């Protein structure tokens, strides 16, 4: 196969795509505008649909060495009552879910790659048989460009007719700290207009996150523990053990709703294509799926617009379904009115475990891309 692909963005989606293209013998350059020493985020979870694809790429041992495999995910009320208990062991024959620090995942996915840091793409122009890319270092021609540069993608913004992310109505905070509880499962607590999650990410570390209904762009420099003082005792133990120098990240939760997956020689991937709300833990997972599917389309169809058509056709329906489901879960989790809260907790608490298992199996297994044979 002749020609070369440019991947813009060395985040999880861009790195995964680079590894997939390397497996398939497709030449590429990988540009990242940020320096390699940039501060990394906090934790993340990878459900089975993502880990089985990374296992196929050979990253399974490294993921399990750095992260924490978990077999159970629970939703609890702000009083500690269990509303939903999802046992993932029933799905273990297809793979394992795990959580780890975002920096560890990027380190694992970077192995053997040479991202070109400090390369900001300022313009992308379709020239027919090629696509012209402009950076601070000059211009270059590629067969295809893949924008994997995140929710606020500069490449997407440079293209006419592409939308901007919209605010969900709630903001989020996240950080990591030593785990005082010894957790081995994911737990999320639902209150009135607020949620708090505790996720063990391996190496004795705990990923802590919170959401709260708020106008956009209202910044708080510290984690808002005052919102969760009435939550269960284990939450207060985490609060009391948070090191004072901990770096806290606050981000308004935004969603990118778009039908624009590609131009003739430009593809969007991950958050640059479909920024999801984080309520199903599928942000990283869908980016990994995008990368695997796109690489297979390029492998089978060549570096052609037809390959990008095939990629969009495969991905659009699945991602839209996950986005809708995540949006609904977010709205339920952020409810404030007391009568609706009581109804929400009553309905979720009486949903049969078999129904939750069925939904998880559909999303993580049956509707998910199958691992390629490399």
Considering the domain boundaries, does residue 27 fall inside one? Answer: yes
Residue-wise pLDDT for 102-147, tens only, equals: 999 999 999 999 999 999 999 999 999 999 999 999 999 999 999 9
End-to-end CA separation in angstroms for the chain: 17
Considering the domain boundaries, does residue 352 fall inside one? Answer: yes
Provide the sign of the torsion angle of the four alpha carbons 319, 322, 324, 327, taken in this order.
negative
Q: Starting from the edge strand earliest in sequence, which strands make up the sheet with 28-32, in order?
A: 116-117, 28-32, 5-8, 144-147, 266-268, 262-263
HSE (CB half, 13 Å, CA atoms) of 81?
Answer: 10
Q: What are the backbone dihedrals phi and psi of residue 241, each rounded to the nearest 5 degrees, phi first?
A: -105, 5
pLDDT of residue 218: 95
Q: What is the C-alpha to C-alpha distance for residues 261 and 30, in angstroms, rounded to an integer?
A: 20
β-pair partners for 312: none
Give the pLDDT band of residue 259 (cuts 50, 70, 90). confident
Q: Where are the alpha helices (DSSP H) in the chain?
A: 12-23, 48-56, 60-66, 102-109, 154-157, 233-241, 271-274, 283-301, 305-333, 338-349, 353-361
Cβ atoms 164, 211 nearer than 8 A: no
364: DSSP letter: I
Considering the domain boundaries, does residue 236 fall inside one? Answer: no
Give the pLDDT band of residue 372 (cuts 50, 70, 90). very high
Put simply, whether the predicted model's pTM sits higher than 0.85 gets the answer yes
Most confident of 16-25, 154-163, 346-355, 360-369: 16-25
183: DSSP letter: -
Residue-wise pLDDT for 187-235, tens only, equals: 999 999 999 999 999 999 999 999 999 999 999 889 999 999 999 999 9
The SS3 assignment for 265 reads coil
On the question of pLDDT at 39 being above 80, the answer is no
Q: What is the C-alpha to C-alpha distance for residues 370 and 283, in angstroms, rounded to an integer?
A: 18
Here the CATH number for the domain that contains residue 89 is: 3.50.50.60
Considering the domain boundaries, does residue 243 fall inside one? Answer: no
β-pair partners for 73: 86, 186
Considering the domain boundaries, does residue 223 fall inside one? Answer: no
- What is the tally of structural domains in the chain? 1
- Give the distance from CA 91 to its chain's centroid: 21
pLDDT of residue 1: 54
Distant-in-sequence, close-in-space partners of 345: CB < 8 Å, separation ≥ 6? 77, 81, 83, 190
Residue-wise pLDDT for 307-321, tens only, equals: 999 999 999 999 999
On the question of pLDDT at 301 being above 60, the answer is yes
Cβ atoms 201, 236 nearer than 8 A: no
Q: What is the C-alpha to C-alpha distance for residues 119 and 134, in angstroms, rounded to an integer?
A: 10
Cβ atoms 42, 101 nearer than 8 A: yes
Q: DSSP string covering 159-172, please?
A: STT----EEEEEEE
pLDDT of residue 2: 63
Average of per-residue pLDDT values in the chain:
96
β-pair partners for 267: 146, 262
Which residues constitute the domain of residue 23? 5-165+254-366
Cβ atoms 312, 319 nearer than 8 A: no
Considering the domain boundaries, does residue 195 fall inside one? Answer: no
On the question of pLDDT at 26 being above 80, the answer is yes
* Helices and strands (H, E) in the chain, number of each type: 11, 19
Considering the domain boundaries, does residue 229 fall inside one? Answer: no
Considering the domain boundaries, does residue 75 fall inside one? Answer: yes
């Amino acid at each position: 196969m002749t020609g070369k692909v440019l991947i813009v963005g060395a985040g999880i989606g861009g790195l995964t795509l680079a590894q997939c293209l390397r497996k398939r013998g497709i030449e590429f350059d990988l540009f990242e505008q940020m320096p390699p020493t940039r501060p990394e985020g906090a934790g993340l979870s990878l459900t089975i649909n993502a880990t089985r694809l990374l296992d196929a790429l050979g990253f399974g041992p490294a993921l399990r060495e750095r992260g924490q495999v978990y077999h159970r995910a629970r939703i609890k009320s702000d009083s500690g009552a269990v509303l939903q208990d999802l046992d993932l062991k029933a799905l273990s024959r297809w793979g394992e879910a795990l959580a780890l620090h975002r920096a560890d995942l990027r380190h694992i996915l970077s192995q053997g790659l040479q991202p070109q840091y400090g390369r900001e793409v300022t313009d992308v122009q379709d020239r027919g048989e090629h696509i012209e890319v402009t950076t601070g270092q000059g211009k270059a021609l590629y067969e295809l460009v893949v924008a994997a540069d995140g929710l606020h993608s500069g490449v997407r913004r440079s293209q006419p007719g592409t939308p901007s992310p919209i605010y969900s109505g709630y903001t989020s905070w996240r950080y990591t700290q030593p785990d005082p509880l010894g957790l081995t499962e994911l737990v999320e607590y639902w209150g009135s207009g607020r949620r708090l999650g505790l996720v063990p990410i391996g190496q004795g570390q705990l990923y802590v996150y919170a959401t709260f209904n708020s106008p956009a762009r209202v910044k708080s420099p510290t984690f808002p523990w005052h919102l969760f003082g009435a939550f269960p005792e284990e939450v207060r133990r985490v609060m009391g053990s948070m090191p004072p120098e901990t770096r806290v990240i606050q981000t308004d939760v935004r969603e990118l709703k778009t039908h624009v997956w590609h131009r003739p020689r430009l593809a969007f991937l991950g958050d640059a294509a479909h920024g999801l709300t984080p309520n199903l833990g599928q942000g990283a997972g869908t980016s990994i799926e995008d990368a695997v599917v796109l690489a297979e389309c390029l492998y089978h169809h060549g570096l052609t617009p037809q390959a990008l058509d095939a990629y969009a056709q495969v991905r659009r329906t699945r991602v839209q379904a996950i986005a809708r489901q995540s949006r609904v879960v977010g709205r339920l989790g952020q409810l404030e009115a007391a009568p609706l809260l009581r109804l929400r907790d009553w309905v979720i608490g009486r949903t049969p475990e078999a129904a939750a298992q069925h939904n998880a199996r559909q999303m993580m297994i049956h509707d998910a891309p199958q691992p390629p044979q490399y």
